[in-house]
Amino acid sequence: MAVPIALTIAGSDSGGGAGIQADLKSFAANGVYGASVITALTAQNTLGVSAIHQVPADFVTAQIDAVMSDLAVAAVKIGMVAQRDVIAAIAAGLDRWRAPNVVLDPVMVATSGDWLIADDCVDALRRELIPRARIITPNLPEAAALLGEAVATDEAAIRSQGERLLTLGARAVLIKGGHGDGPTSTDYLIDESGTTVLAAPRIATRNTHGTGCSLSSAIAAGLAKGWDLDAAVREAKAWISAAIAAADQLEIGRGHGPIHHFYAFN
């Protein structure tokens, strides 16, 4: 039986809530076979990140070539990349294998507040990965960091930042509103045709570790299944909202616990 295949290129979370582990869970929960390329190893749990071990660029290249030369990858999600030479290796790999449906989640800060990317990598993300992405999925602080601006605080500013992110080369931008305030968590999907507003009730829970990783992976899963971008984003938003709503069913760790990726199977 043929099954859609998606590849995640990201860092490993030893606690299992974010990064590669969250991506593979998200792929599986959304009916897609997941492969992985690890860019960094993190020592972390629900309380935070205590150490990061970077994977050399040549080994990232070896992983990309091993997967792409054998598996029919239909979408690629890119998460944590914290070295300029690794970013260059990923960009070269995407071109070499003509990777389709690239979803770039510009991971910069963990849920715990730990900074995960060096300053000199932000420009490399702008120049080398954003132009290769079908969609980028920054949250409000990440969108601001990519533009070197203050965090947007109202809808007009969010739309403006999204439109300027498009000028960096991505075909679409999903600015996630989870860091905002109020009873509604509103995301903004912005492309050349305009802006689509995607709202969902804001859920009161501390168990949101890996939310951004999981949402971008769910979008990649939809694209891998052949959905158009609007459908992939809408379905991913509905799935992540339900996974957050079910998060308190799990009792994992003493800090920011994970979302419930497999709520639908309980």
| Residue spans per domain, the chain | 5-265
In three-state form (DSSP H/G/I as H, E/B as E, the rest C), the secondary structure along 5-27 is EEEEEEEEECCCCCHHHHHHHHH
pLDDT at residue 124, rounded to an integer? 92
User: Minimum mean pLDDT among 88-102, 118-132, 235-249: which range?
Assistant: 118-132
- Whole-prediction pTM: 0.95
Q: What is the DSSP string of 96-132?
A: HTT--SEEE----B-TTS-B-S-HHHHHHIIIIIGGG
pLDDT at residue 66, rounded to an integer? 98
Average pLDDT on 28-36 reads 98
Give yes or no: 25 in active site. Answer: no
Task: Supply the mean pLDDT for the chain.
Answer: 93
The tokens describing 156, both together, are: 């007009």
Residue whose pair of structure tokens reads 């040549």 in the numeric block: 58
pLDDT tens-digit map of 40-54: 999 999 998 899 999
Whether residue 75 is predicted with pLDDT greater than 90 in this model: the reply is yes
Selecting among 16, 25, 208, 257, the annotated active-site residue is 208
pLDDT at residue 83, rounded to an integer? 92
CA–CA distance, 102 with 8 (Å, rounded to integer): 10
Q: What does the CA dihedral 183, 243, 198, 23 come to, rounded to 10 degrees?
A: 130
pLDDT at residue 6, rounded to an integer? 98
Tell me, what amino acid is at 146? L
Average pLDDT on 8-28 reads 97
pLDDT tens-digit map of 236-263: 999 999 999 999 999 999 999 999 999 9
Tell me, what amino acid is at 80? M
pLDDT tens-digit map of 152-192: 999 999 999 999 999 999 999 999 986 556 678 899 999 99
Stretch (H or E) spanning 52: strand 48-54
Bridge pairing between strands 102-104 and 75-78:
parallel
Selecting among 212, 222, 237, 257, the annotated active-site residue is 212
Give yes or no: 205 in active site. Answer: no
Selecting among 178, 213, 222, 225, the annotated active-site residue is 213
- CATH of 5-265, picked from 3.90.1150.10, 3.40.1190.20, 3.70.10.10, 3.40.80.10, is 3.40.1190.20
The tokens describing 46, both together, are: 């629900």
Give yes or no: 208 in active site. Answer: yes
Average pLDDT on 1-19 reads 95
First to last CA, the chain: 25
CA–CA distance, 55 with 233 (Å, rounded to integer): 30
The tokens describing 29, both together, are: 């929960």
Selecting among 93, 162, 210, 222, the annotated active-site residue is 210
CA–CA distance, 122 with 92 (Å, rounded to integer): 18
Selecting among 19, 77, 121, 176, the annotated active-site residue is 176
What does each C-alpha distance from 2 to 77, 178, 232 come to in angstroms?
Answer: 20, 35, 20
Selecting among 211, 222, 237, 257, the annotated active-site residue is 211
Give yes or no: 19 in active site. Answer: no
